[in-house]
């Protein structure tokens, strides 16, 4: 009978290392393009944490992009995805609070952001 003087902890660590090494060897490797995906849709949230509205942009099987917003389905240019889905600042035209009948441009935060890609 051989008495193994190593602690149980040392034995467990050694076994875990062996398992880890064998798992790493078994993992397949793929070329970088394997991990590239083709974007076919984006869900957007407009509003705040307390309330808001969801709509989406999606590509149909014929390659055309569409905006789906409740009952409205409109053509969409995917070149506009950045400006339509990533928040930031934009300008809006509002009634001038100082002069009735006059309009002014005001910079404000965009109320919408991409939620899922």
**pTM score, two decimals?**
0.60
| Nearest CA among 102, 110, 54 for reference residue 82 | 110
Looking at residue 57, its pLDDT comes to 96
- The average pLDDT across 50-64 equals 94
Q: Which of 52-61, 74-83, 108-117 is predicted with the least confidence, judged by mean pLDDT?
A: 108-117
Non-local CB neighbours of 41 within 8 Å, separated by 6+ positions: 56, 57, 58, 59, 117
Tokens standing for 66?
């569409």
Looking at residue 79, its pLDDT comes to 94
Q: Is the pLDDT assigned to residue 56 strictly greater than 90?
A: yes
Residue 1's pLDDT band (boundaries 50, 70, 90)?
very low
């Amino acid at each position: 009978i051989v008495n193994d003087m190593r602690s149980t902890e040392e034995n467990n660590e050694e076994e875990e290392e062996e398992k880890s090494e064998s798992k790493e060897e078994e993992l397949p490797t793929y070329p970088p393009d394997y991990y590239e995906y083709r974007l076919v849709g984006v869900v957007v949230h407009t509003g705040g944490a307390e309330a808001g509205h969801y709509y989406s942009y999606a590509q149909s099987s014929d390659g055309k992009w569409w905006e789906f917003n409740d009952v409205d389905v409109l053509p969409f240019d995917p070149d506009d995805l950045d400006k339509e889905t990533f928040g930031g600042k934009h300008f809006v035209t509002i009634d001038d609070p100082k002069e009735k009948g006059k309009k002014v441009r005001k910079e404000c935060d965009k109320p919408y952001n991409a939620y899922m890609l």
